[in-house]
Structure 1
Amino acid sequence: MPLELVPVRCLTDNYAWLLHGNGRTALVDAPEAAPILAELAARGWSLDQIALTHHHADHIQAVPELVAQTGAAVIGNAEDAARLPPLDQAVRPGERFALCGEEAEVIDVSGHTVGHVAFHLPGSAMVFTADSLMALGCGRLFEGDAAMMWASLSRLNALPAETLVCSGHDYCRGNGAFALSVDPGNAALRERLAETAAGARPCAPSTLAEERATNPFLRVAELADSLGLAGAPEATVFAELRARKDRF
């Protein structure tokens, strides 16, 4: 049975993600303690694990308070441990570990930062991507380069189409506006934006199938001609899209 998934809005536009099942509760990323603790209390859940995707403050700053309040074990990338809060369990890309009693795969999604990881739970068809693959977009390249991010997105894009993509921010308005500017004839994109604007659906989670159909950063093959890059390597098309988004 799939784990129960609860998005928790934090700060201005962050998402934290609570998982519950098998008698355990886990959190992916810790932007702000108060809304997370309130959600736990409302549901009568005790927090057992905190899994961290990357070192940026808006994803880890609530860890000390949450650990003090709950005693939860902290999990993160061993290769970025020096920039994360103290880890009780250090994991590496390619490894698997138990999250809420379910097998989770650690995926290297460096680009936004070097050492950024995603957590894929195949049994529940979920992937926690934070600031790598995002709803209708992808994260800015603060530490890595375009080739690194394209490789990361390609790894995520190889997951099953029904996988829920649980990203780190609600950037749907800005991402959607950019997507429409480079892919104006995309009917699926227009429908998704209309549903989001009407409040008929949240920004996240989305399915990987939806991202393949509407996210320009997964549609480089379809957009190459209109960008003047017909025949160029996909990584080159991605780099051009990312540069355009940075200027948008």
Structure 2
Amino acid sequence: MECQEFLPDEAQAGGPQQLMVLLHGAGGHPDDLGALVITLRQHWPAAAIIVPEAPQPFDADDADPESRQWFSGRAMREQDLAARVAEALPPLLAEVQQAQRRLGLTGAQTALIGLDQGAIMALEASAREPSLAGRVVAFSGRYATLPQRAAPATTLHLLHGGADPVIEVRHAQAAFARLKEIDADATLDIAWEAGHELNADLLACAIDLLQSYVPQRLWREAMSTKF
């Protein structure tokens, strides 16, 4: 799997302190996330950022030959989604785990940040491998199959446009309701006038969550400590 990689400046002593994996959407390319890379590097200068290229050429009619997809959406029925995502997951899981080993970073130090199909892949990757990432940020995504159990070490941030015509906001709402049922650590933020996009307000919300949201497991550990 081809991958763009951005490492901390040499002035950052001790090597990368976090790993951020950015996953583009269907019909996209790693270069589409360049502005997001710049924003994240400004806020997390000690982070390593990798941007994998989805392995398949985008198969929509009249598609740009350079555009990519994680899985085909052609003739997609609801019951097809889980199988297509499951088939696409192994190379991505291997890429993230290989980067973690190479950089000496753990799942707790890893964030998966995805848009559209990339958000689907991020959510399903964390469901498949619960220790893969400490944070998942899903813009305009959904689960292929709603999870049956919580990943205790993962915090999930769902961010969605209320006017999204591609992946309707009801999918984010249903995912959040299920995550609360299974006692998962999750947040849901909706920009009601936004569509299927990396909305500026939602991006600002995601930055704030990554900087200031304290995972529930840390609260629970603190509350259980006996002084």
Shorter-chain TM-score tier: 0.3 to 0.5
If the length of structure 2 is used for normalisation, what is the TM-score?
0.32
Which structure has more strand as a fraction of its residues?
1
- Using the size of structure 1 for normalisation, the TM-score is 0.30
